[in-house]
């Protein structure tokens, strides 16, 4: 009887291990935030659970927080601001998409009176003169606009370089949350 229980426990552990590897490899990934470019939403050292398969079933949405391959060595986490076909501009610390004023409530905790969070720009000014987001590309920004290396500096990102959507902040335990 005791031998049966040990055998069952060993098999259960092996199955759990195999399932964990499967989920980690194909469905989810864990990432560590490096830097302050996404504050106040994400903080340096936060551990994130990234859903790697969501965009196989649905399109990337404006304001999704995503992880993408910035280059062969680094992955970045940023917020999607512009989708293909969008015209993007900032004027007086206000986002305009296709000429319409768009609220960014997730930035409110970071705003301070008298200080601009996002400097004025148009898409043409921060790209190679392109006035709209090209097909298959995204325009991304960090939430901490004054301290973020984002599409204003490196241009559009390819949709195919997106690893996935940030679903959960799971460390530190006091910060467990779903990002805005």
Q: What are the structural domain ranges in the chain?
A: 32-175
Residue 41 has pLDDT above 70, yes or no: yes
**Of 20-24, 67-71, 156-160, 171-175, which has the strongest mean pLDDT?**
156-160
* Active centre residues (catalytic): 37, 78
Distance, in Å, from the CA atom of 47 to the CA atom of 67, rounded to the nearest integer, reads 12
Q: What is the reported pLDDT for 55?
A: 83
Q: What's the chain's length in residues?
A: 180
* 0.95 exceeded by pTM: no
Measured distance CA(72)–CA(84) in Å, rounded? 24
pLDDT in tens, 168-179: 776 665 555 556
Confidence of residue 166 (pLDDT cuts 50, 70, 90): confident
Q: Of 143, 180, 156, 161, give the one whose Cα is nearest residue 55.
A: 161
CB atoms within 10 A of CB 134: 13
CATH topology assigned to domain 32-175: Umud Fragment, subunit A (2.10.109)
Q: Is 116:93 a contact under the CB 8 Å cutoff?
A: yes
User: Does the pLDDT at position 12 exceed 80?
Assistant: no
Contact 75, 68 (CB under 8 A): yes
How far is 130 from 123, CA to CA, in rounded Å?
Answer: 7
Interior/surface letters 88-119, b for 16+ CB within 10 angstroms, e for the rest: bbbeeeebebeeeeeebeebeebeeeeeebbe
Judged against a pLDDT cut of 90, whether residue 99 lies above it is answered with yes
């Amino acid at each position: 009887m005791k031998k049966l229980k040990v055998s069952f426990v060993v098999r259960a552990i092996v199955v759990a291990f195999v399932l964990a590897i499967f989920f980690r490899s194909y469905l989810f990934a864990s990432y560590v935030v490096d830097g302050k470019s996404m504050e106040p939403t994400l903080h340096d050292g936060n551990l994130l659970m990234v859903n790697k398969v969501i965009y196989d079933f649905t399109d990337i949405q404006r304001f999704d927080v995503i992880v993408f391959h910035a280059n062969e060595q680094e992955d970045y986490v940023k917020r999607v601001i512009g989708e293909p076909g969008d015209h993007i501009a900032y004027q007086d610390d206000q986002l305009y998409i296709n000429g319409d004023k768009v609220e960014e409530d997730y930035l409110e905790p970071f705003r301070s009176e008298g200080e601009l969070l996002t400097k004025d720009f148009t898409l043409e000014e921060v790209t190679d003169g392109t006035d709209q987001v090209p097909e298959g590309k995204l325009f991304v920004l960090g939430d901490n606009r004054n301290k973020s290396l984002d599409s204003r500096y490196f241009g559009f990102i390819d949709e195919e370089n997106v690893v996935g959507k940030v679903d959960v902040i799971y460390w530190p335990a006091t910060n467990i949350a779903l990002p805005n």
